[in-house]
Amino acid sequence: MRKVIGIILLVIIAWGIIISLQNVPFGTSRTEVADHYINKGIEETGAANIVTSVVVNYRSLDTLGEVTVLFLAAIGLGAVLASTIRKKEDRDTEKASLILSTGCKFLFPFILLFGAYIFIHGHLTPGGGFQGGAIIASAFLLMYLGCHKEKRINETGIIISESLGGLVFVIIGLIGLAVGTRYFLNNFLPKGEFNTLWSAGIIPIIYIAIGFKVGSELSKIIDLLMEES
Amino acid sequence: MNFLHNYIYYIGAFGLIFIGIFIMISKRNYIKVIIGLSILDTGVNLFLISVGYINNGTAPIFSKSAIESKNMVDPVPQALVLTAIVIGVAVLGLALSLGIRLYKHYGTLNLQKIKEQRW
């Protein structure tokens, strides 16, 4: 019965989509907004990666909201899981073998370094704060899976790095409001030489802050979920 | 054939969306519903990316001076999808944590056996 209802619903949706997309041309033209971002993006923001200049410069208020959503999800996850009664059950699990745990400990700093590279070079190459943060969280996940509960994340460190990330983002936005053309998250720093690491004004600073924030939030989510299992 | 060539990205994206919706409607296990949600999310992201595609286009990154801005794909959907992926991860984590609570409270993940969740 449920399957029949589902198929009928899907057929109706598919019919509507076919009707509406029939006359839309595919892959021929961009919108005017995109043309402006691509043609004027370099002189207005100084970033080689146009997607980064859209995310962190033109629509950075959006990004602030997005980081807030991720923060709220982490808080909600903590609130949902915190009220469960923790039973201290020691399941007799085998320790991971020496090769596995040593390999994890060996790889851990390199994965952190790679994540940091991704978010520092967000304005030059594909990548950025969110991707770098996810890579950093994957390093913590590797530690949890490989080195069976020998090491836990330092909770104070997580809270400090997350708060610092958010604080730097908002404070840079407020400084932009105070100087220059007076709008929130205004790119007030000098643009620098194009296509080098020290360019694009506030974009690398904000992306580093986002990287720290996203990395610590995702690590916190992993920590909470691993604690439950 | 021409139709397929033009709309293959849309067909793939909407295929994923329909598979996701169908799983969410028909499956009874909570984990499978979450998997359907994830597939639906991927399909929507793929659709947004393919809306901004230009034929024979390149990524919107000026890494070399030889790259012309004429051939670049639309950067706006890519920036929006960057947002959507992160939100998707947040939603996935929250849904899984609710699943843990559900299992601890009712002892089952079958939504038909939970009185408040049956439909």
Chain B residues close to A195, C-beta within 8 Å: 62-63
Those residues whose C-beta lies under 8 Å from the C-beta of residue A177, and which sit 6 or more positions away, are A183, A184, A185, A186
DSSP at B115 = G
Q: Locate A25 and state its tokens.
A: 């041309």
Kindly tell me if the per-residue pLDDT of B3 is higher than 80: no
Instruction: Quote the domain boundaries for residue B6.
Output: 2-54+72-117
Domain count, chain B: 1
State residue A113's pLDDT score: 92
State residue A89's pLDDT score: 54
State residue B40's pLDDT score: 92
Q: How many residues does chain A have?
A: 229
State residue B34's pLDDT score: 92
Backbone angles phi, psi at A213, to 5 degrees: -65, -50
State residue A199's pLDDT score: 76
Residue type, B74: D
Those residues whose C-beta lies under 8 Å from the C-beta of residue B53, and which sit 6 or more positions away, are A26, A27, B9, B73, B74
Looking at the domain assignment, is residue B35 inside a domain? Answer: yes
State residue A228's pLDDT score: 67
Confidence of residue B38 (pLDDT cuts 50, 70, 90): very high
Looking at the domain assignment, is residue B15 inside a domain? Answer: yes
Q: Render the burial of B69-83: b for 16+ CB within 10 Å, e for the rest.
A: eeebbbbbbbbbbbb
State residue A91's pLDDT score: 57
Burial label, A63 (beta-carbon count in 10 A; 0-12, 13-18, 19+): buried
CA A199 to chain centre: 21
State residue A90's pLDDT score: 55
Confidence of residue B119 (pLDDT cuts 50, 70, 90): low
Confidence of residue B44 (pLDDT cuts 50, 70, 90): very high
Digit-coded pLDDT (tens) for A127-157: 888 888 889 989 888 888 877 665 667 778 8
Residue B14 touches chain A, beta carbons under 8 Å: yes
Residue B84 touches chain A, beta carbons under 8 Å: no
CATH number of B26's domain: 1.10.287.3510
As a whole number, the mean pLDDT across chain B is 83
Answer for the pair A216, A165: CB distance below 8 angstroms, yes or no: yes
**Beta-carbon separation of B9 and A214 below 8 A:** no
Alpha-carbon span A151 to A138, nearest angstrom = 15
**Residues lower than pLDDT 50 in chain A:** none
Looking at the domain assignment, is residue B76 inside a domain? Answer: yes
Alpha-carbon span A57 to A44, nearest angstrom = 9
Residue A200 touches chain B, beta carbons under 8 Å: no
- Look at the alpha carbons of B44, B48, B51, B54 in this order and tell me if their dihedral is positive or negative: negative
Of A49, A51, A69, the CB nearest to B87: A69
Digit-coded pLDDT (tens) for B57-107: 778 887 777 777 777 888 888 888 888 888 888 888 888 888 888 888 888
Looking at the domain assignment, is residue B18 inside a domain? Answer: yes
Alpha-carbon span B19 to B92, nearest angstrom = 18
State residue A196's pLDDT score: 74
Alpha-carbon span A79 to A203, nearest angstrom = 33
State residue A197's pLDDT score: 75
